[in-house]
Amino acid sequence: MNIALIAHDKKKDDMIRFVTAYKTIFAKHVLFATGTTGLKIQEATGLEVHRFCSGPLGGDQEIGAKIANNEMDMIFFFRDPLTAQPHEPDVTALIRLCDVYSVPLATNMGTGEVLIRGLEQGDIDWRNVVHGKTEDFIEEK
């Protein structure tokens, strides 16, 4: 599975604790992250992480492109709901694409726990079921 890990600054410690706690599960998958989040996870856990740009510099959009291309299976995006982000439109767009393509998305550690346990229990197949082809979408319109 391709998994994206993203955390706003005030949630980065949570993310590191989370990935450290479930390191053995994450180690079985291909990990992607926005720039700073990925670096901190690598440093803290030693896991290999493919890093995109930092979020405010386009990293959220790069991960969104992977979702649109059916190349992302699960997203852990620990958002900071109490701090204004300069790239709020990018954050909203990423969350929207998860809903467009039914990609499982955890925006906090509580949901993260549920998702990671689901991942460990078995395969997820809804992505293949719901990921429509562009041609179908155009026909429906």
Annotation: binding site for substrate: 8, 12, 34-37, 54-55, 87
Helix (H, G, I), strand (E, B) or coil at 86: coil
Q: Is-contact 18 109, C-beta < 8 A? A: yes
- Our CB check for ligand 13P shows the closer of 60 and 73 to be 60
| Strand ranges in 8-141 using DSSP code E only, listed in sequence order | 30-33, 49-51, 74-78, 105-106
**Site residues (CB under 6 A) for ligand 13P?**
6, 8, 34-37, 54-56, 59-60, 91
Which residue is catalytic, options 9, 13, 14, 60? 60
- Our CB check for ligand 13P shows the closer of 30 and 53 to be 53
Q: Judge whether 60 counts as a catalytic residue.
A: yes
Least gap, CB of 133 to ligand 13P (angstroms): 29
